[in-house]
Structure 1
Amino acid sequence: MGIVLKQSFRNTIIIYAAFLIGGVNTIVFYPRFLESEFYGMVTFLLSASNLIMPLTAFGIQYTIVKFYSSYETKEQKDRFLSSVIFLPIFIALPIGFFWDYFHEWIMSKVTKENQIIENYTFFIYLVAVACAYFELFYSWTKVQFQTVFGNVLKELWNRVIVMVLLLAVFFGFITKSEFIFYLTIAYIVRAFVMMFYAFSMYFPKFYFKLPDNFLEVIKYSGYIILAGSAGAILLDIDKIMIPGKDAIEKAAYYSVAVFIGSFIEAPSRAMTQILQPLTSKSLNEFNTKEVENLYKKSSINLLLIGGLFFLLVNCGVSELFKLMPEKGYAGGEYVVLMISLAKLYTMFLGSNGAIINNSKFYKVALPLAVGMSVCVYFLNELFYFNVDLGTDGLALSTLITIVLFNTVKLWFVHKKFTITPFTEKSWKMVLIILVLFSAFYFWDFSLPEIQIFKFNISPVINIALKSILLTVVYVYLVLKLRISNEIDSLLKKYYK
């Protein structure tokens, strides 16, 4: 776990810095500078591009991670990379050619009050293609076990650009419409930067000869492209469905709550960057013992770190919503709770997904992903459109779907590999989280209203005091019970 923790630690710092900037954008700048209607439209456009991106990428980002380490010679690796690098463009070109039909379909799914989307749908396509090639070249560097720079581009780049563009809107340098144009350009530039970095890490000799197992590569990509497309529905279908019933502003309100709830997954995103190629390498070498070792250690460490942020987010979220400028943003506490629970359960399962996607059983990813997308769609129809639970219903659909299908994945890995991510320490960690959640969730410090420049800072002080107290108790219990050897060693460097 040395290389995992080293790069995961760096990636976690990068991702939390990105979340901090994203938090300022989401909670402060977007609502005030872009306003809820235009913010909702940006949310819709980016979510729609996320749905198309897996199709455009043709699953190549996963294919590179899966197969690269299986080739023994440089020529085999170069023939493989030469063959896959051009595949996404063969998907992107036909989609672009028939985009008028996609445009008409998109507009048929939104209500008349949301026709503001009409003039911006082509940006969905451009962002999707740019993101597809970014992910391809990011995977190119992952298999060289270099994830930090790519993580900077993936997590920090867009958020910093968004902050700059929002400030440009505020000071009148650009219009709201130009904001979307320049943001699209930023996605395209990011893809090129990632390409140049990937080539600096490993520049292949390009062959016009396919690898010997090319049919297997295409077959795998076919499964993963479908699985990835279906899986993307789970992440973004909520925001896409909102304009079909309510004003697009609600997409902005829901997006803020989802962002806050997703804050806890940063360690998982950081660790996954390096866990995927390591798990693939261990599976290709038939080293089941190392696979199990990565499985268990990733589970306990992600639960430990994710558990702390789960508590910090949920125990301070009611005060956080008091800082929002519009009343529509308030009342999202249950959305935050359900989304963060779903993320925490996924983290609890450690490298479960990496094991399935990089093993000979990868085909099961397709029915699982399709099942998840179908499940969340019909649950959204039930809870959001029929029962009318509002955005709480969308979050509930996501929670139920993730818990159900991740449990199936847990059972599948146990059945095929006879391994689980759990140890005795796992249940101690669950107990710590439950006890501290019960103790800290239902109260806040009773503070008088404190005004600075007509801004009430009492919620900020409340969040800070509560977070400090909760963190101290949490870290003490983790160290006292010796939950994680890796975290113990890391923390002891600073408090000895």
Structure 2
Amino acid sequence: MGIVLNQSIKNTIITFIGFTIGATNALFMYTHFLGEDYYGLTAFLLSSANIMMPLMAFGIQNTLVKFYSEHKSEDEKSRFLNLVLVLPFVIIIPIFLILFLFYGETAMLLSKKNPIIHNYVWIIPVIGLFMGYFEIFYAWVKVHLKSVFGNFVKEVLLRVFISIFLFAVYFDWISNIQFIYSLVFIYFTMMVIMGLVAFSVRKPQFHLKFPKEKREVIVYSAFIIFSSSIAVLLLDIDKFMIGQYIPINEAAYYSVAIFIALTISVPMRAMHQITHPITSDLMIRKRYDELNDLYKKAAITLQVIGGFIMLGILTNIHQVYALLPEKYSGGVAVVFLISFSKFFDLMLGNNNSIIFNSKYYRTVLLLGLCLVILTVTLNIFFIPKFGIEGAAIATFISIGLYSLAKLLFVVFKMNLFPFTKKTIVSLGIIAITFIVFYFWNFSFHPVANILLKSILVTLFYWVLNYKFMVSEDVNKMMDNILLKISGK
């Protein structure tokens, strides 16, 4: 448990560092150095590659984690690792063969609305391949409980490399077109680094001996391809579809807005590392009263912390956009819609952990499949009519309905409920804080405005939460902070 806790803390810190670098890239360097057309093209290519990644990896990254510990002898482990390295080629070779034979038709189809895409379509499967094997090598080290450096490569080093090449564009060392090609080099380098780390942890023994239970591995991997593809589609399908219906520069505006709004999800990622194993343990021991209590505590704590981050974003949103090129300002409505949808998801606490650790885990896959169909349909309808706001509306509706379906499933199927009277109190505090500060602006530079308003929002919001004791965990944390400040 010490290793897990230690690495969880390190991974959380690394995630926040990577997020900060990513924010600098997304909000300032891409927007000022690359320009909206090539930023939009970058967003389209990387989102498309990310959609292909689960196919290229053949779901092996999850299969490796699930089955590795079941192999006891060194020979069994060696056979299994050989299989996971080779198995993705079952689908990689046909994909590249089809793309080679029908590349012209594929490129023409994807670039019908935006001709700028045509010359770069080949980048999508290549980066998708590099992403896929990166995840396989990352899983390779995770099963040996050495996840920290892999997380550093994924969250920090990748973004540092992108920053370096964006600076190269700024200083005219490379052109915008060369930056697009450099993405291939960056993701190839990340894959190689991760591969070297994986092989240093356990060196593979290349031979054609595979484990006896390879059929079970293949069936599970196929199932994971399906479920992983759904998860990725939910994240990136909107950016892909924007490139098919409206000018590619709109994808740049949308990417900035999405990045700002997704900040709300950071606390959930951090808390998930703590609540997921606890949830699993309570469900195995059938201690449902304690699970229901954890469900409520996780939900209200995430609501309070997520509400604070959402308020920080929404009350300062116009000042943030004042720091960006004027063309990006159309993304304000997108930020609001995506923020509300992510906040509702946040309010459900450890809902996903409960479902994934129950006998009903396949329900998430079914719900996810329905959501993908709904999301694609809504995007087809809304994007041509309303542009990036249409994509945001589609995401808002689909994620909202998906979260509601998961909530109702847990409530009626498992008799667990995340909300209490404190939920209403918290929503009231969030609403009051928003009304007080959203329309209150200072005639300073946007940065000074953001800093001053953020200080006032912080004091106002946390004093109210502390006074009304909305979350026991938050109050305990604030008490500890106050004790340290007072020196007692």
**TM-score category of the 2 structures, normalised to the smaller one:** 0.7 to 0.9
**CA shift for structure 1 position 8:** 5.4
- The residue that corresponds to 1:373 in the other structure is 372
- Could you tell me which of 392, 396, 400 is aligned with 1:399? 396
- Could you tell me which of 447, 462, 465 is aligned with 1:475? 462
**CA shift for structure 1 position 359:** 4.4
- The residue that corresponds to 1:412 in the other structure is 409
- The residue that corresponds to 2:173 in the other structure is 173
- The residue that corresponds to 1:153 in the other structure is 153
**CA shift for structure 1 position 13:** 3.6
**CA shift for structure 1 position 252:** 0.8
- The residue that corresponds to 2:440 in the other structure is 444
Rounded to whole Å, the distance in 1 between the matches of 2:359 and 2:83 is: 22
Cα offsets for 1:454-482 (capped at 9, x unmatched): xxxx1111111111111122233333344
Rounded to whole Å, the distance in 1 between the matches of 2:38 and 2:153 is: 25
**CA shift for structure 1 position 421:** 3.8
Rounded to whole Å, the distance in 2 between the matches of 1:197 and 1:296 is: 40
Cα offsets for 1:334-355 (capped at 9, x unmatched): 1001111122222222333344
- The residue that corresponds to 1:37 in the other structure is 37
- The residue that corresponds to 1:110 in the other structure is 111
**CA shift for structure 1 position 304:** 2.8
The answer on whether the counterparts of 1:12 and 1:267 sit within 8 Å (CA) in structure 2 is no
Rounded to whole Å, the distance in 2 between the matches of 1:407 and 1:211 is: 42
- The residue that corresponds to 2:88 in the other structure is 88
Letter in 1 for 2:436: A
Rounded to whole Å, the distance in 2 between the matches of 1:492 and 1:203 is: 49
- Could you tell me which of 437, 450, 457 is aligned with 1:463? 450
The answer on whether the counterparts of 2:110 and 2:118 sit within 8 Å (CA) in structure 1 is no
Q: CA RMSD in A?
A: 3.2
Letter in 1 for 2:53: M
Rounded to whole Å, the distance in 1 between the matches of 2:467 and 2:212 is: 53
The answer on whether the counterparts of 2:371 and 2:402 sit within 8 Å (CA) in structure 1 is yes
Cα offsets for 1:66-93 (capped at 9, x unmatched): 5556x38466766655543433233223
**CA shift for structure 1 position 415:** 4.4
SS in structure 1 of the partner of residue 123 of structure 2:
helix
Rounded to whole Å, the distance in 2 between the matches of 1:279 and 1:412 is: 17
After superposing the two structures, state which structure 1 stretch, 133-142 or 391-400, moved more: 133-142
After superposing the two structures, state which structure 1 stretch, 395-404 or 238-247, moved more: 238-247
Q: How does 1:81-230 map to 2 (within 5 A)?
A: 81-100=81-100, 101=102, 104-111=105-112, 114-143=114-143, 147-198=147-198, 208-210=209-211, 212=213, 214-230=214-230
After superposing the two structures, state which structure 1 stretch, 486-495 or 304-313, moved more: 486-495
Rounded to whole Å, the distance in 2 between the matches of 1:312 and 1:11 is: 24
Gaps of 5+ in 1: 449-457
Q: 1:251 to 1:492 in 2, by over 3 A?
A: same
The answer on whether the counterparts of 1:295 and 1:421 sit within 8 Å (CA) in structure 2 is yes
The answer on whether the counterparts of 1:18 and 1:156 sit within 8 Å (CA) in structure 2 is yes
Q: 1:14 to 1:22 in 2, by over 3 A?
A: same
**CA shift for structure 1 position 401:** 0.4
Rounded to whole Å, the distance in 1 between the matches of 2:66 and 2:275 is: 12
Q: How does 1:7-86 map to 2 (within 5 A)?
A: 10-67=10-67, 71=70, 73=72, 81-86=81-86
SS in structure 2 of the partner of residue 349 of structure 1:
coil
The TM-score normalised by the length of structure 2 is 0.86
The TM-score normalised by the length of structure 1 is 0.85
Rounded to whole Å, the distance in 1 between the matches of 2:369 and 2:197 is: 34
- The residue that corresponds to 2:330 in the other structure is 331
The answer on whether the counterparts of 1:66 and 1:358 sit within 8 Å (CA) in structure 2 is no
SS in structure 2 of the partner of residue 350 of structure 1:
coil
Q: 1:39 to 1:228 in 2, by over 3 A?
A: same
SS in structure 1 of the partner of residue 121 of structure 2:
helix
Rounded to whole Å, the distance in 1 between the matches of 2:457 and 2:143 is: 39
Letter in 2 for 1:349: L
Rounded to whole Å, the distance in 2 between the matches of 1:91 and 1:154 is: 24
Cα offsets for 1:163-185 (capped at 9, x unmatched): 11110111122222221232222
SS in structure 1 of the partner of residue 316 of structure 2:
helix
Q: How many residue pairs end up in the alignment? A: 479
Gaps of 5+ in 2: 484-488
Letter in 2 for 1:131: M
**Percent identity at matched positions?**
41
SS in structure 2 of the partner of residue 173 of structure 1:
coil
The answer on whether the counterparts of 2:253 and 2:330 sit within 8 Å (CA) in structure 1 is no
- The residue that corresponds to 2:243 in the other structure is 243
- The residue that corresponds to 1:452 in the other structure is none
Letter in 1 for 2:448: I
Rounded to whole Å, the distance in 2 between the matches of 1:205 and 1:280 is: 35
SS in structure 2 of the partner of residue 169 of structure 1:
helix
Rounded to whole Å, the distance in 1 between the matches of 2:475 and 2:65 is: 31
Q: 1:143 to 1:430 in 2, by over 3 A?
A: farther
**CA shift for structure 1 position 273:** 5.3
- The residue that corresponds to 1:453 in the other structure is none
SS in structure 1 of the partner of residue 122 of structure 2:
helix
- The residue that corresponds to 2:386 in the other structure is 389
Rounded to whole Å, the distance in 1 between the matches of 2:270 and 2:103 is: 34
Cα offsets for 1:433-492 (capped at 9, x unmatched): 233223322x132315xxxxxxxxx11111111111111222333333444454445444
- The residue that corresponds to 1:348 in the other structure is 347
Rounded to whole Å, the distance in 2 between the matches of 1:8 and 1:481 is: 31
Rounded to whole Å, the distance in 1 between the matches of 2:117 and 2:295 is: 44
SS in structure 1 of the partner of residue 315 of structure 2:
helix
Rounded to whole Å, the distance in 1 between the matches of 2:147 and 2:307 is: 24
**CA shift for structure 1 position 17:** 2.6
Cα offsets for 1:371-407 (capped at 9, x unmatched): 111111111122222xx22211110110110110122
Q: 1:431 to 1:74 in 2, by over 3 A?
A: farther
- Could you tell me which of 404, 428, 442 is aligned with 1:431? 428
Letter in 2 for 1:401: S
Q: 1:484 to 1:414 in 2, by over 3 A?
A: same
Q: 1:288 to 1:226 in 2, by over 3 A?
A: farther
After superposing the two structures, state which structure 1 stretch, 137-146 or 96-105, moved more: 137-146
Rounded to whole Å, the distance in 1 between the matches of 2:461 and 2:201 is: 40
Q: 1:202 to 1:340 in 2, by over 3 A?
A: farther
Q: 1:215 to 1:482 in 2, by over 3 A?
A: farther
Letter in 2 for 1:173: W
The answer on whether the counterparts of 2:246 and 2:387 sit within 8 Å (CA) in structure 1 is no
Rounded to whole Å, the distance in 1 between the matches of 2:6 and 2:264 is: 19
Cα offsets for 1:244-291 (capped at 9, x unmatched): 3322111111111111111221222334456656656776x5565586
SS in structure 1 of the partner of residue 88 of structure 2:
helix
